[in-house]
């Protein structure tokens, strides 16, 4: 009996080994050589690039180099030439520091032939990719290279090694060109191989046909309830409705009626008269689709496969409507006017009708992967005030969004433009300077000059033990000289000047840094989601950054500017 069990056990182990062989590399005993390379400074020499040269050819021509040395020498030459921006695109006349024949310490040992975690890639199998708005390095790796989650860290290291000029892959900007491997195969580590072997052995116990191919895909599916919640939110924000309860009846003339169970086939109604029956399980009979299209105008049956993600379903549903379209977004979208906010979307939903000269944007969809930052709620609220809904969708969780921000802000400072005097006084007082209005400035006095003469300054400012007189009337050169001789600094402005010009004159006279122009606050610069606030105004640099604008700014955006950029807003 014991011999019989031993024989059966032997057969099971032998079958598992046979099954595993096609899936993984054989482990056998072989001789391999470990090399430790040390380059002497005396072995280095300079080479001038000639027409037609490529680095692989240059390496092959180094005395004593064999094919197996090329990859290690490629990395070595890269370290020896840090000033060469791109070793894969050499220019005629460039000087390269090359190693001579390497000095090696060789040690032979008997080991099992295993695969180290590396990537098979050659320098002539690379492709360029231009960064687009909204791109992250993780999205690029998934989308362009089809790499699984477990191999993303290895791929990221590889991309960093072939793009040495990119200092920080967390900050890649639209228009930047990076190199990507055209085809990369990652090998398993010994631990991964062991785990994979155990998985194959377990599978072999369940499969009677040894030649059957099993494909394991790592794909994240949104839970059905989360997917339905996304559909409901997007559609209801388009002034539509989605019914998932009860029955829906479609009368057939002179025949009867069609009864649709809304819990299995939700019914979606849009404000443009379109009705969609959404078959989420692809269970409806093919004749039903034809029956609906033959008997009812603007009624459609849309089939959704189980593998369809929520974006694919939305596209199918929305693109059947009369007035709505869902399209891939390629360009930044600007929302509002004062201030304009620039946003990046993955998909946009637009509405057109015969009454409209051009389609209107009604909703923007952002796809959220891993740790992608979400848009601030203040930006989404501002967008909604300007008739654009923003929906953020996670492939794992469905609808996601940041909580509402609560900003504790004092009333916005306001510089009155009723007169130069009032404007100047409030401006300098807001900057924390000691200022007085309507001050008599003595020019001549009776005791010293035999007569008395004074002028009334609009504003007198005391700063750094100096007196600055802001004056809006015309003064003769004699008065100007007399005021200066008395130790006063004179700042002349005019009632005809625009507020921005008055500010610049006063602040320049007080030696306070100021500049006027267009200002951009990019979320990407602060590790935020891809959005940008833009406006024109005047920036006053004191102990805090003060931006003076001529419009009433949204309270939420004002709080966001102050919290993220320490930008304090004032207006006139």
35-110: in CATH 3.10.350.10: yes
CA dihedral 343, 177, 156, 181 (to 10 degrees): 130
What is the pLDDT at residue 43? Answer: 66
**Domain 125-186 adopts which CATH fold?**
Membrane-bound Lytic Murein Transglycosylase D; Chain A (3.10.350)
**Which tokens go with 169?**
């892959």
Residue 369: which of 403, 349, 343, 346 has the closest Cα? 346
What is the Cα–Cα distance from 528 to 530, expressed in whole angstroms? 6
How confident is the model over 302-318, as a mean pLDDT? 86
Average pLDDT for residues 29-44, to the nearest whole number? 44
Inform me whether the pLDDT recorded for 206 exceeds 60. Answer: no
Burial class (CB in 10 A: 0-12, 13-18, 19+), 144: middle
Residue-wise pLDDT tens digits, 453-507:
677 888 888 888 888 888 888 877 777 787 787 778 888 888 888 989 999 998 9
Nearest to 98 by CA among 70, 140, 124: 70
| Range with the poorest average pLDDT among 24-33, 217-226, 489-498 | 24-33
Q: Distances from the Cα of 41 to the Cαs of 55, 73, 248, 452, 480, in angstroms?
A: 21, 15, 84, 88, 74
**What confidence category does residue 106 fall into, taking pLDDT thresholds of 50, 70 and 90?**
very low
Q: Encoding tokens for residue 461? A: 């400012």
Can you state the percent helix, strand and coil of the chain, rounding each to 5? 30, 30, 40
The neighbouring-strand residues paired with 462 are: 434, 467
The partner residues of 45 in beta bridges, in order of sequence, read 98
What are the start and end residues of each CATH 3.10.350.10 domain in the chain?
A: 35-110, 125-186
| Cβ neighbours around 211 below 10 Å, total | 7
Residue whose structure tokens are 């991964």: 192
What pLDDT score does 380 carry? 92
3-state secondary structure 275-336: EEEEECCCCCCHHHHHHHHHHCCCEEEEECCCCCCHHHHHHHHHCCCCCEEEEECCCCEEEC
CA distance linking residue 232 with residue 248, whole number of Å: 18
Q: Which helix (H) or strand (E) holds 108?
A: strand 103-112
Closest by CA position to 362, among listed 377, 370, 352: 352
Tell me the percentage of the chain whose pLDDT exceeds 90.
19
Length of the chain: 572
Residue-wise pLDDT tens digits, 67-77? 566 667 777 78
Please tell me the pTM assigned to this model: 0.58
Q: Which of 16-25, 36-45, 98-107, 190-199 has the lowest mean pLDDT?
A: 16-25
At a CB cut-off of 8 Å and minimum separation 6, what does 532 contact? 341, 342, 520, 521, 522, 523
Between these two residues, 282 and 539, which has the higher pLDDT value?
Answer: 539
Using alpha carbons only, what angle is made at residue 226 by residues 221 and 229, rounded to the nearest 5 degrees? 140
The model's pLDDT over 261-283, given as tens digits with 9 standing for 90+, comes to: 888 889 999 988 899 888 887 77
Question: Exposed/middle/buried for 266, CB within 10 Å: 0-12, 13-18, 19+?
Answer: buried
- Residue 558 near residue 533, CB atoms below 8 Å: no
Cα separation, 96 vs 26, in Å, equals 42
CB within 8 Å of 116: residues ≥ 6 apart:
187, 189
Q: Scanning the structure block, which residue is given the tokens 């559909």? A: 231
Alpha carbon of residue 52 to chain centroid = 39
Query: pLDDT confidence of 444, banded at 50, 70, 90?
Result: low
pLDDT in tens, 374-424: 999 999 999 999 999 999 998 888 899 888 888 888 888 899 988 888 999
């Amino acid at each position: 009996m014991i011999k019989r069990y031993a024989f059966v056990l032997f057969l099971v182990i032998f079958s598992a080994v046979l099954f595993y062989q096609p899936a993984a590399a054989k482990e056998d005993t072989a001789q391999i050589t470990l090399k430790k390379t040390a380059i002497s400074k005396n072995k280095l020499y300079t080479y001038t690039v000639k027409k037609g040269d490529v680095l692989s050819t240059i390496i092959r021509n180094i005395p004593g180099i064999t094919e197996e040395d090329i990859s290690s020498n490629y990395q070595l030459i890269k370290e020896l030439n840090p000033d060469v921006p791109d070793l894969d695109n050499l220019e005629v006349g460039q000087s390269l520091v090359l190693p001579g024949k390497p000095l090696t310490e060789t040690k032979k040992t008997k080991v099992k032939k295993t695969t180290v975690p590396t990537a098979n890639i050659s320098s002539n199998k690379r492709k360029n990719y231009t960064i687009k708005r909204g791109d992250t390095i993780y999205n690029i790796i998934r989308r362009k290279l089809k790499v699984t989650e477990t191999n993303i860290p290895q791929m990221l290291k590889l991309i960093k090694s072939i793009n040495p000029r990119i200092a920080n892959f967390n900050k890649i900007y639209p228009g930047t060109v990076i190199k990507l491997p055209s085809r990369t195969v990652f090998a398993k580590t010994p631990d991964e191989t062991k785990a994979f072997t155990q998985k194959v052995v377990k599978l072999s116990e369940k499969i009677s046909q040894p030649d059957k191919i099993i494909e394991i895909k790592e794909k994240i599916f949104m839970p059905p309830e989360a997917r339905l919640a996304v559909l409901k939110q997007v559609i209801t924000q388009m002034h539509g409705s989605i019914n998932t309860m009860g029955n829906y009846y479609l009368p057939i003339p002179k025949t009867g009626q069609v009864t649709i169970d809304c819990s299995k086939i939700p019914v979606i109604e849009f404000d443009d008269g379109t009705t969609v029956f959404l078959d989420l399980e692809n269970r409806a009979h093919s004749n039903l689709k034809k029956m609906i299209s033959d008997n009812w105008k603007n009624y459609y049956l849309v089939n959704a496969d189980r593998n369809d993600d929520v974006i694919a379903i939305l596209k199918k549903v929305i693109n059947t409507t009369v007035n709505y379209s869902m399209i891939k977004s390629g360009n930044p979208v600007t929302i509002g006017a004062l201030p304009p906010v620039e946003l990046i979307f993955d998909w946009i939903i637009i509405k057109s009708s015969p009454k409209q000269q051009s389609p209107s944007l009604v909703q923007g969809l952002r796809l959220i992967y891993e740790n992608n930052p979400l848009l601030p709620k203040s930006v989404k609220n501002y967008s909604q005030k300007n008739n654009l809904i923003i929906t953020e969708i996670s492939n794992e969780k469905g609808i996601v969004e940041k909580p509402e921000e609560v900003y504790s802000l004092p009333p916005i400072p306001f510089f009155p433009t009723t007169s130069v005097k009032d404007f100047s006084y409030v401006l300098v007082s807001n900057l924390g300077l000691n200022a007085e209005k309507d001050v008599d400035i003595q020019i001549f006095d009776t005791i010293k000059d035999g007569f008395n003469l004074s002028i009334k300054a609009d504003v007198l400012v005391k700063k750094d033990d100096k007196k600055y007189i802001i004056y809006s009337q015309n003064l003769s050169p004699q008065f100007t000289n007399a005021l200066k001789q008395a130790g006063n600094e004179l700042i002349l402005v005019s009632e005809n000047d625009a507020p921005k010009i008055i500010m610049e004159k006063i602040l320049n006279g007080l030696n306070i840094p100021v500049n006027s122009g267009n200002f951009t606050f990019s979320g990407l610069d602060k590790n935020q989601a891809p959005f940008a606030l833009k406006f024109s105004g005047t920036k006053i640099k004191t102990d805090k950054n003060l931006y003076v604008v001529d419009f009433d700014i949204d309270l939420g955006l004002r709080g966001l500017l102050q919290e993220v950029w320490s930008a304090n807003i004032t207006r006139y």
